[in-house]
Homo-oligomer: A and B are copies of this chain.
């Protein structure tokens, strides 16, 4: 594998984020303290640049159509601890320290993933997960 060219997408060390047709890349954000998956969001090139330059997580809000510095209104600022990219460079994995009340979800919960899908006789249903 050491023979791979520097710009090889999978084995190289050149960062070549592959944005989708709408200019976005998926980012999974993990609480560095607990290891818990907090949220899945998207970044455009500007959000990624600002995240790397500032060390604070920025996203692109698809619903609002605007750049979004996480925590600007909620206080739940996310300080970047480590940012990884996946094999085909179309997804990011961020480990963060969360400010404010330590949460990430606008519903007031720590994680956006607060419901489990259960298989029932009449099809899938959701069940609320108690926060620890």
Chain A residues within 8 Å of B, Cβ to Cβ: 10-15, 26, 28, 30, 35, 37, 39-40, 52-53, 82-88, 91-93, 105-107, 109, 112-117, 119, 123-129
Judged by DSSP, the binding face of A is strand
Number of copies: 2
Most buried by B among A11, A53, A115, A128: A115
Asked whether A26 lies within 8 Å of B40 as measured between CB atoms, the reply is yes
- Selected from B88, B105, B129, the residue in CB contact (under 8 A) with A84 is B129
A selection of 9 A-B contacts at a CB cut-off of 8 Å is A13-B127, A14-B126, A15-B123, A53-B119, A86-B112, A86-B113, A87-B109, A87-B114, A92-B117
Question: In whole Å, how far is A109's beta carbon from the nearest beta carbon of chain B?
Answer: 8
- CB within 8 Å for A40 and B86 given contacts A13-B125, A28-B28, A126-B13: yes
Q: Which of chain B's residues have a CB closer than 8 A to the CB of A116? A: 82-84
- Selected from B13, B15, B83, B107, the residue in CB contact (under 8 A) with A10 is B107
Q: How many angstroms between the C-alpha atoms of A86 and B14 in the bound complex?
A: 32
Asked whether A13 lies within 8 Å of B128 as measured between CB atoms, the reply is yes
Asked whether B14 lies within 8 Å of A125 as measured between CB atoms, the reply is yes
Q: Which of chain B's residues have a CB closer than 8 A to the CB of A126? A: 12-15, 85
